[in-house]
Amino acid sequence: MKFGASTFIWSSPLDDAAALSLARRVAGLGFDVLEVCVEDPALLSAEGVAKAGEEAGIAISVCGAFGPDRDISHDDPAVRAAAAAYLRQCIDLAAAVGSESVSGPMYSATGKARLLEPAARERQWAWAVEGLAECAEYAGERGVGLAIETLNRFETDLVNTVDQGIRMCADIDAENVGLLLDTFHMNIEELSIGEAIRAAGPLIRNFHACENDRGAPGDGHVPWREVVTALTDVGYDGLVVIESFTPEIEEIARAVSMWRPLRTSGDELAGDGLAFLHGLFG
């Protein structure tokens, strides 16, 4: 198992200088991986991100940020094309820095929630599948996978449960497409987190270990022993990433409803979370 920390814990939007600083920071805290969240691709270079990982001695994982102008299931084909173009930029970065996958809720815009008629929902789903299938082919040619993240009902109206994520992977039908599971979202949506993990099985390409309040793992009521048992049952031995946010970054705080700090610092949250995960996974 490799343990990672998301750049969202400390910084947004990320640039080369911040990537270098955070790579050193997370390495110093004992992490194996820095999950680089690409909000503005113009601020990040493959050379800068690769240098950050190499100098700190840690691996890089790439995660996308999907706002309203990066909605691959949008009614407007121009918006869908822009979303695909952005995802290809993330794929190119991942290929250049050695990230096995690009992760995130790439099927829609985060925060898009509409009560649609079944036919309209199926059109939205079909547009997502079509666009992601094309991006998966592009990624496969570059040795990169896609890890589709299921989000809770308050952050998306399209893929909330692991079962829905499994269906989307099946519809895309590409060997390099799988799932990013996140305990924060599963704690809201799944009747059994353990059974959801077992259902995903070999589709799991990334895993976010987040507490029920999005704070440090171990602080809340997520059933962590159940999580570990299920991951062991399916033979998962990949990334386990702590993702949290700070209310000091107002745009992100509004998007995820983060109205108060959960720890005194990002370092404390990440460091204590990592110590808990090391003890948990043995």
Q: Which residues, other chains included, contact 116 with Cβ-Cβ below 8 Å and sequence gap of 6+?
A: 124, 157
By annotation, the residues acting in catalysis are: 149, 243
Residue 101: phi and psi, rounded to 5, are: -145, 160
CB 41 within 8 A of CB 68: no
Is 47 exposed, middle or buried, given 0-12, 13-18 or 19+ CB atoms closer than 10 A?
exposed
Distance of CA 217 to the CA centre of its chain: 16
The span from the CA of 209 to the CA of 184, in Å, is: 8
Residue that has been written with the tokens 């049952």 in this structure: 233
Instruction: Yes or no: say if 72 and 83 are a contact pair by the CB < 8 Å rule.
Output: yes
Report residue 88 as tokens.
Answer: 């290809």
Residue 43 CA, chain-centre distance (Å), reads 20
In this structure, how many other beta carbons lie within 10 angstroms of the beta carbon of residue 274?
Answer: 23
* Residue 279, H or E segment: helix 266-281
CB within 8 Å of 13: residues ≥ 6 apart = 39, 40, 43
Close Cβ partners of 56 (under 8 Å, ≥ 6 residues apart):
20, 23, 24, 26, 27, 34
